[in-house]
Structure 1
Amino acid sequence: MDAVFFDLDNTLYSAEHNLFNLIDVRINRYMHEVVGIAPERVDGLRRHYWAVYGVTLQGLIQEYGADAEHYLDYVHDIDVSSRLSADPCLEQELGRICARKFVFTNGSRDHAQRVLGCLGIERCFEAIYDIRVSNYIPKPQELPYLAVLKASGVAPQCSIMVEDSVPNLHTAARLGMKTILVGGDSDETAHFDAVARTASEAARVVQQWQGDA
């Protein structure tokens, strides 16, 4: 395998840290305070946008003409250090992977850099591909995967996707990427190449695959 693509939120750190909850609060505030949507409509609209567009941002762009850059800055304006700290074990396991490593996220580059910095793993990755790589089109749509593979110069058959999202991994698998589900149920193993409890465990799976090659 030539490259490993890691999702960011709830993948490189456990969902138990509840960091994404802080972003959720900011998204709700943005929809009400900036866009002007009534509070009682926010939750329903977000579910609708996730079903139709994949992320709230695309719904707000398409239906309200929201400024994507303002949105990304606003919703990621959170104190990452209040929930995350250095993870030496993860840093060590990532360092043992003999392949190029990238972050591939639906969030923003600035947010990813803050998360990687808090975890102490920013040096482990060659590049960060955020939602801008495909003009704000999110995973699990194919376009961002194709854009990331093109930008990195990696063939899908020579790459691995590490994710906490089942739909995102389904797209990766359709394109020919190997898949590791992080934080999933072991019953889902049949749908993916591997299931890991943490990013460190996923890194060890990659190491094992490389050793078996």
Structure 2
Amino acid sequence: MDVTIFDLDNTLYAPEACLFSLIDVRINRYMTEVVGIEPERVDGLRRLYWQRYGVTLGGLIRHHQVDPEDYLEYVHDVDVALCLRPDQRLRQSLESLSGVKVVFTNGSRGHADRVLQALDLADQFSEIFDIRVADYCPKPYADPYHRVLTHLGADAECCAMIEDSADNLRTAKVLGMRTVLVGPALQADYVDARVERADQVSEVVMGWRGQSL
């Protein structure tokens, strides 16, 4: 494996940090206060848009003519430092992981920058690919994966995808990547390995590299 691709939210930090719940609140507020959707419709629409478009933003663009940049700025306007602290164990793990390391997120680059700064990991990744990489088309659609691979000049077979989302790993596996699920166990043929925490990823990936020597 020459490239290790990490998701951001609920992957590099644990869901228990509750950072994403703050973003969820901002998404709901945007839909009611900015877009003008009735509060009782928000949960149903979010579920519908996730099913159809992969993220809430996709439905808001298509059905409510939302400016995606305005949305991204609004929903990621949260105090990351309230939830996250430097993660020295993860930092040491990433330092031991050779090759190219990048972040690939359905969030914004600004949000990713703030998260990595809070975790003291900003210097560990050579690139951040956000929702803009394929014109706001999100994971698990294949197009953003192809854009990332093209930008990196890498073959999928040389990449490992690290995610908390099974759907996102499924696409990675179809494209030919090795996959690591961060979080609860899941029996699926598109999950090659599972770890509890992101700081355990380097051992798995380096093990694969050893097997290929």
Q: TM-score with structure 2 length normalisation?
A: 0.97
Comparing 197-206 with 70-79, which one deviates more in the overlay?
Answer: 197-206
Task: Give, in whole Å, the separation in 1 of the partners of 2:5 and 2:127.
Answer: 10
Give the corresponding residue for 1:24: 24
Task: Give, in whole Å, the separation in 2 of the partners of 1:203 and 1:120.
Answer: 17
Give the corresponding residue for 1:175: 175
Q: How does 1:1-213 map to 2 (within 5 A)?
A: 1-185=1-185, 187-188=186-187, 190-213=189-212
Task: Give, in whole Å, the separation in 2 of the partners of 1:197 and 1:159.
Answer: 20
Q: Deviations over 1:86-136 (max 9, x none)?
A: 001101111111110000000000000000000011100000000000000
Deviation (angstroms), 1:211: 2.7
Whichever residue aligns with residue 188 of structure 1, its letter is Q
Report the aligned-residue RMSD. 0.9
Task: Give, in whole Å, the separation in 2 of the partners of 1:177 and 1:107.
Answer: 22
Deviation (angstroms), 1:209: 1.8
Comparing 149-158 with 189-198, which one deviates more in the overlay?
Answer: 189-198
Question: Identity of counterpart residues, as a percentage?
Answer: 54
Deviation (angstroms), 1:189: 6.2
Comparing 198-207 with 136-145, which one deviates more in the overlay?
Answer: 198-207
Task: Give, in whole Å, the separation in 2 of the partners of 1:152 and 1:191.
Answer: 23
Whichever residue aligns with residue 36 of structure 1, its letter is G
Deviation (angstroms), 1:2: 1.1
Whichever residue aligns with residue 40 of structure 1, its letter is E
CA contact 2:81–2:118 (8 Å) conserved in 1:
yes
Secondary structure of 1:28 counterpart: helix
CA contact 2:179–2:190 (8 Å) conserved in 1:
no
Task: Give, in whole Å, the separation in 2 of the partners of 1:162 and 1:134.
Answer: 19
Deviation (angstroms), 1:192: 1.2
Secondary structure of 1:137 counterpart: coil
Comparing 56-65 with 200-209, which one deviates more in the overlay?
Answer: 200-209
Secondary structure of 1:144 counterpart: helix
CA contact 1:96–1:207 (8 Å) conserved in 2:
no
Task: Give, in whole Å, the separation in 2 of the partners of 1:94 and 1:188.
Answer: 26
Flag structure 2 segments of 5+ consecutive residues without an equivalent.
none
Task: Give, in whole Å, the separation in 2 of the partners of 1:103 and 1:204.
Answer: 18
Deviation (angstroms), 1:208: 1.8
Whichever residue aligns with residue 192 of structure 2, its letter is D
Secondary structure of 1:49 counterpart: helix
Whichever residue aligns with residue 5 of structure 1, its letter is I
Deviation (angstroms), 1:190: 4.7
Q: Deviations over 1:55-104 (max 9, x none)?
A: 00010000011000000000000000000000011011111111100000
Q: TM-score with structure 1 length normalisation?
A: 0.97
Query: Runs in 1 of length 4+ with deviation above 3 angstroms?
Result: none
Flag structure 1 segments of 5+ consecutive residues without an equivalent.
none
Deviation (angstroms), 1:191: 3.9
Whichever residue aligns with residue 208 of structure 2, its letter is W
